[in-house]
Structure 1
């Protein structure tokens, strides 16, 4: 068995391995893993995958230098957009129709980049820091398994449960300050910023602190002229902002920073663990919300209703395969083939009017649209066309008029 599941497993592997790769974010859990490895004989490289979270290299290097470990930062933003986000928009990737999925989309990219680096460096082990109450545990492990990586892999926190307070205290005594003030666990990328644990542990008693949010706070200085925004699509892909060409990477950043400034894009909901326990999560995702809303309007305006009904099933299948850590499975790929074919017929634009907490469509212009633009005139014309017939009466015989 090559799966790492406890601190003891990490220590045993590190005593034999020549080179260990850790997935590193600079957060409490990944920093505590470096603390566990500090006395190992193995060479340790911490890798941070940049998915648009504004990684501060100096802060990460401060931690890795503290332990004398190497730091690698790999830029995967464009790959994340092309591999995951285009398809997520088209598949309306919402968890049970509730909120945009995020880590389900990012984990396959993180693992792909980590495995590539591990093979280049000759690493004997890849260690991450997801725990039992995080779905990333099965998503990361599943992605590593499917990658064909032959070394040890897994998380020490699967079986070794340590409180956040204890981890922060240990790091403090090791000389790393600042972790004691962190009261939630966060995961963020250019698509979504999500939070869990800590002050969000108890669904019956939690507080949404303003400090959690970066994009979706009320920020009048970032509001748009006319409080409106127009998004254009061509064959299923977002291609214009206010009628000007733009890349999806640039478009997402613009929407997050400017549409989010109207307090748009907050979500509170539950995720399920592998035994169907439910955990509370809070997230902000203004661009995900607006882009999926615009796409939904255009595809509904364009596609036949029976196709939309079938697509709804494929949307859910594609999303659930991602949620369960099976990104790229045969079933998900088959569902996406259907979704991608329908996307070829989705082109047009949606204009939104923005106000506090709301993005209301005020114009939907779809190519090859099925919608009516003048219902009164349509009804008159249809009624006239359908009335161009005469009632055929059966001929009556004389006998029917005779009185018995």
Structure 2
């Protein structure tokens, strides 16, 4: 038994092999009661048997909470408003989910009177940081237990042996070639042949989107309505957050939309190669960008793009509950007050094309933009503007040769 102690631990639990063997391990090494917590974020897993499996593994209780509505409304849509993407292409599907799961875990721990929190993240990944920063922000008094940084288990075979020794129910002994994480926003793939970034991902790896070559031979048009930067309708039909995202997931998936292949920089210092499927999110990001083109002034749009990079880093690094994240969210919310309107997209064989947009308060004024009329904009005024705008460069050129 470990020298450290804990009376009651709440474990972030998925029902998979790794978190299932953590239950008896915690009891054996900490002499504690284990309560499991599982969040439903729209992952593809069947969660109907999770509670029974947790109890069979030795947990005293298991709480399964449906957080899909909150996930889309309070995490995904605010991220969409910001325009945050990590390293140009990653729509942060795993990153944005962790602070919500960990918060639910903390709330459960407070409810049941636990004194410790535990997770099944490895010591080489980003998720350990995301979970533990949430614990530190919301329950700084609680002990944190990370079995992967303590135990002797180093492989799936080790975990299977430990499960057999402690009578932990295991539904399958065949390892998947890929490590995956999914929710209603995305599905990620790592490991297997992806460890060589030169190799093209196998077609059989993808689970949510069809191969673009096999997508319909005719394009599909759709319209997405927004209110203050929040999507509220698809093709004129008002939909709640979860139903709207599911609808767009279906449309994007059947057209092969939303596949991303990325070698990313992990927070812990190494690079990793991952492939992501985010069909509905890809449609939403393009639609939202198109509407902002009409509704935001130049200075706000450009500055917002700069802050979106920093915002994506906060999400990726697990700093959702930090003061800076709250402050940036307030800024992004303010920028969205006029982002109300409709965007029209065309999707075809993996491509997403913006083909129309209209905003209730558009800053696009045809009378100013037209090339054929000068009634509003006097082109002769541009001469003085250019002289003043270019004056620093002219002075630099005139003085650079004087020695």
Q: Same-fold call, TM > 0.5?
A: yes
Counterpart residue number, 1:111: 102
Q: What is aligned with 2:296?
A: 303
- Deviation string 1:75-120 (CA, Å, 9 cap, x unpaired) is 1112212321121101112102212012221111111111111111
Structure-1 separation of matches of 2:376 and 2:334: 37
1:336 matches 2:329? yes
1:232 and 1:349 in contact (8 A); partners too: yes
Q: Does 1:255 align with 2:248?
A: yes
C-alpha contact (below 8 Å) 1:115/1:149 kept by paired residues = no
SS in 2 for 1:318: helix
Paired with 2:345 and 2:242, the residues of 1 have a C-alpha distance of 20
- Offset, 1:333: 2.1
Find the partner of 2:378 among 375, 378, 386. 386
Partners of 1:372 and 1:385 in 2: CA distance = 11
Checking the alignment, whether the CA contact within 8 Å between 1:220 and 1:262 is kept in structure 2 is no
Is residue 367 of structure 1 aligned with residue 360 of structure 2?
A: yes
Equivalent residues of 2:345, 2:356 under 8 A apart:
yes
1:356–1:46 Cα change, 3 Å: same
Cα distance in 1 for partners of 2:214, 2:49 equals 28
Residue 167 of structure 1, aligned match among 154, 159, 171: 159
| Cα gap change, 1:222 to 1:44, in 2 (>3 Å) | farther
Please report how far the alpha carbon of residue 128 of structure 1 lies from its aligned counterpart in structure 2 after TM superposition: 0.1
> Which residue of 1 is the match for residue 177 of structure 2?
183
- Cα distance in structure 1, aligned partners of 2:318 and 2:156: 26
Residues 67-78 of structure 1 aligned to structure 2 (within 5 Å): 67-69=57-59, 70-78=61-69
Unaligned residue ranges in structure 2 (runs of 5+): 382-403
1:208 to 202, 207, 211: 202
Which shows bigger deviation, 151-160 or 103-112? 151-160
CA distance 1:198–1:22, shift in 2 (3 Å): farther
2: distance between equivalents of 1:319 and 1:28? Answer: 31
Residue 327 of structure 1: which of 320, 324, 327 is its match?
Answer: 320
Match of 1:283 among 259, 276, 300: 276
Corresponding position of 1:20: 9
Alignment of 1:82 with 2:73, yes or no, is: yes
Larger-Rg structure = 1
TM-score, length-scaled by structure 1: 0.83
* Residue in structure 2 matched with residue 266 of structure 1 by the alignment: 259
Please provide the CA RMSD for this pair.
3.0
Q: Distance in 2 between matches of 1:12 and 1:223?
A: 61
Distance 1:158 1:374, change over 3 A: farther
Q: In 2 relative to 1, CA 207–221 (structure 1 residues): closer, same or farther, beyond 3 Å?
A: closer
Tell me how far apart the structure 2 counterparts of residues 31 and 280 of structure 1 sit (CA, whole Å): 27
Q: In terms of mean alpha carbon deviation, does 175-184 or 24-33 score higher?
A: 175-184
Q: TM-score, normalised by structure 2?
A: 0.84
337, 348, 355: which one aligns with 1:355: 348
